[in-house]
Structure 1
Amino acid sequence: MPSEIAGVRLTHPDKPLFGAGGPTKADLARHYEQVAARILPFVKDRLVSLVRCPDGCDRDCFFQKHGGKTMPAQLKRKEITEADGGLDDYLYAADISGLVAAVQMSALELHIWGSRIDRLEKPDRLVFDLDPDEELGFSDTKQAAVELRDRLSALGLKTLPLLTGGKGLHVVAPLERRAEWPQVKAFARGFAQMIAAEQPERYVAQAAKDKRHGRVFIDWLRNERGATAIAPYSTRARRGAPVATPVSWEELPGISASSRFTLADMPERLQEADPWQVASGWRQSVTSELVTAVASASSGG
C-alpha cells in the first residue's frame, strides 16, 4: 500500500531493502526525513549520484548520475558540460523531498560532488578516503586518519573524520570556495604522494590493488571535477543498513568499525550534539603555496 513521506508517494513502502527482515523503503525515507537538518547542509544543491538497488542490497545494484524522463519531479536536474565538451543532465536535491524521491527509486547510497551547483568549478570540501588492505584492522585505519589529521593541521587545514559505513574512513577538510578543481586536485595528489614517499611501508598513493599489500591507500582521487564521495548520513547498500556517520576526533579512538552506526542507531545519535558543528566557523582554503609545498616535499625537493 502506497504511503507519503515528505510529499513523495512511496510505492511498496514495506519492501525490505537491506535483506529479509531488515529496514524497508519507508524506514529509509523516514531516516532522511529525521536527519534532514544534519544531511541537507551536505547534499542540498550539490550534484549527486545514486546507487540504486531495485530488489534490495542482496541483488543487482547500479550507479546512476544522469537524469531521465522517469525521474521523480522532486529530484532536480542540471545540465552541465562533460569533460568531452558534451552536455548532459545531472541530478541534485533542493530539499528533503529530493532525497525521499531517490528512496522511491530504491537508491540506497548517495554520493556527492565536492562543489555546489551555483559555483561548480570551486569545491568546498577536500576528501581523503583511507582504504586499507584487507589484512589490516580498523585500528590501522584510525591511526592513518589521525596521522593525516596532524599533517594537514601542520599545513593549516583543519579536518573532520567520517565513518564511511564500509571499512574505511574519510578525512574531510571543509574549504572556502576560492580555489578551482585543478589546484585542489594538485594539492590532494601531492599530499598523498608526500605521505606515501615518507612511509612507503604503511601508505600508498596509487589505486592499483597489487600495490596495497599491508598498506593503506590514501585515495586522493575524490578531489577532481565529477568525482564523488559518500554523503554524510547516507546509508550503504549492505545488510544491517550501515550509515556513513560524522564523528569527532575525540570519539574516534573508541569506535570499533567504520560500520558502527546503522539506521537503528540514528534516532539516539541525533539526540547528541552534532560532532561536526565545530567546523561552522572555520575559514580555510587550498592555496598555491600549499600546492607548491607538498609537490616539493613529495619529489624530495
Structure 2
Amino acid sequence: MSAREQSTGISSSRSRADTPVDVDGVRITHPARVVYPDDGITKGEVAAYYAAVADWILPELINRPLSMVRCPGGTDSACFFQKHHAAKLGSSVRPIPLEEKGGGEDDYVYIRDRKGLLQLVQMNTIEFHPWGSRVDKPDSPDRIVLDLDPAPGVAWEAVVEGARGIRDLLDGMQLTSFVRTSGGKGLHVVVPFRRGPGWQTVKDFCERVADAMVERAPDRYIATASKAQREGKIFIDWLRNARGATSVCSWSLRARDGAPVAMPLRWEELGKVASGAAFGMQAALERAKSLKADPWDGMAKLQQRLPKG
C-alpha cells in the first residue's frame, strides 16, 4: 500500500474494483473515479481527506448557509457552483429558506455535522464556501474576509506584506485578525466580530479598509475589480462581504491542479509559506495530524465589535 493510500485509508485493490466504500458511515460510490487527473487523486481519497480533517473544517461550516463547487466529472471537466438545496444531496444536508435578491424565497443549503459534510462529498463536492453569517440570523454577519488577489507577476512576498499591512491596519482599530492561504494565488485576512451590524454596514466597512490600503500604497494595491487597472497590483477584494457572497473556507480543497487546500495559519507561520497554494492534500493531511492546537485558536471566543462610521 502506498503512503497516500495509507494516509487516506483507500487501498489500490479496493479502488480498482470501484465498489462503494463506507467513509464514516456514508456510502461513497465510485471511489476509484479520478477527480484530479494530473495528481491521480480519486473520489475515495477526497472523501477520506474530508473525513480526516472533519474536526478542523466543521467549525467553519456548520449552521452557515453554504455554496459548493461540485465536479461530477472531475476537476478537468465542467465544475459548477450550487447554493440551492435538493433532496438528492443527502438526508443530513438541510434546507434553509432565504429571501432571494429578486424577491421570493428559495431553499439554500447548510449542514450540522460530519455526515452532512460527507454526503456533500459523495455528491462530488470539492470546495466549500460558507456565508459570513449563520442560519439562525442570516442577515446578521459575524465575520469578514478580505481577499488579497495578486495580478500575474506580483511577487509572493508582496502578497505577504499586503496581508500584514491589513493586519496592522485592523490592529489600529482594536480588531484581531486571522490569515489563511486561499489555495489559489493569494491570502485571506479574516475578522470575526459580534453580530449586530447588517450586511450593508459590514460591506461599507470592508470597502473603507481596502481604500485605506490603496491610499497608503496606490502603486501596489487596488480596490476595484477592473482587470484593466490591476497590472502589477494586488486587488484587495472586499466585495465578498455582501449578503449571499461567499469565500472558500479553511481546510477546503480547491478544484485546481495539485489539489491545493485553503489553509489557516498563525501569523508567525506566514513567512514560512511559499505561495497561496503551498498546501496540497497530502501536506494538509500531515498538518492536520501534527497540529497540537488550532492555528486560529481563540477566534470563537472573541467578542470584538466593528468600529462605527
Instruction: Classify the TM-score, shorter chain.
Output: over 0.9
Q: CA deviation at 1:83?
A: 1.8
Instruction: Give the Å deviation of 1:283.
Output: 1.9
1:233 counterpart = 2:244: no
Which AA in structure 2 matches 1:281?
A: K
CA deviations over 1:178-236 (Å, ceiling 9, x no partner): 22211111100122122213321111100111111111100001111100000111000
SS at match of 2:129: strand
AA paired with 2:168? D
Q: Secondary structure at the match of 1:221?
A: coil
- Kept in 2, the 8 Å contact 1:176–1:285? The answer is yes
Distance 1:280 1:45, change over 3 A: closer
Q: State the partner residue of 2:303.
A: 283
Summarize the alignment of residues 213-292 of structure 1 with structure 2, pairs less than 5 Å apart.
213-270=231-288, 271-272=290-291, 273-288=293-308, 292=309
Aligned-partner Cα distance in 1 for 2:85–2:225: 29
Residue 39 (structure 1) aligns with: 57
Q: Return the offset for 1:20.
A: 5.0
Paired AA for residue 215 in structure 1: K
Match of 1:178 among 196, 207, 213: 196
Q: Distance in 2 between matches of 1:20 and 1:214?
A: 30
Aligned to 1:211: 229
Q: Which runs of 5+ in 2 are unaligned?
A: 1-18
- Give, in angstroms, the shift of residue 268 of structure 1: 2.0
Letter in 2 for 1:221: L
State whether structure 2 residue 108 is matched by structure 1 residue 107: no
Question: Which of 123, 143, 159 is the matching residue for 1:141?
Answer: 159
Task: Give the distance between the partners of 1:278 and 1:21, measured in 2 at CA.
Answer: 35
Question: Quick check: 113-122 or 29-38, which moved more?
Answer: 29-38
Under a length normalisation based on structure 2, what TM-score does the superposition of the two structures give?
0.90
TM-score using structure 1 length: 0.92
Instruction: Structure 1 unaligned segments of length 5 or more: list them.
Output: 293-301
Deviation at 1:150, TM superposition (A): 0.3
CA contact (8 A) 2:97 2:106 kept: yes
Whether 1:193 aligns to 2:211 is yes
CA RMSD of aligned residues (A): 1.3
Q: Is the 8 A contact 1:201 1:215 kept in 2?
A: yes
Structure 1 residue ranges (4+ consecutive) displaced by more than 3 angstroms after TM superposition: none
Residues 41-84 of structure 1: CA distance to partner in whole angstroms, max 9, x if unpaired? 11001111111111111111111111124322221111111122
Aligned counterparts of 2:271 and 2:255: Cα–Cα separation in 1: 26
Asked whether the equivalents of residues 35 and 233 of structure 1 are also in contact (C-alpha less than 8 Å), the reply is: yes
Q: 1:235, 1:244 within 8 Å by CA — same for their partners in 2? A: yes
How much has 1:266 moved relative to structure 2? Answer: 2.5
Question: Secondary structure of the residue that 2:162 maps to in structure 1?
Answer: helix
CA distance in 1 between partners of 2:159 and 2:296 (Å): 20
Residues 163 and 247 in structure 1, CA contact (< 8 A), matched pair in contact too: yes
Counterpart position of 1:298: none
User: Cα distance, 1:21 vs. partner?
Assistant: 5.0
Moved more, 45-54 or 276-285: 276-285
Q: What percentage of aligned pairs have identical amino acids?
A: 42
Shift of 1:100: 0.9
Aligned residues: 289
How many angstroms apart in 2 are the aligned matches of 1:218 and 1:21? 31
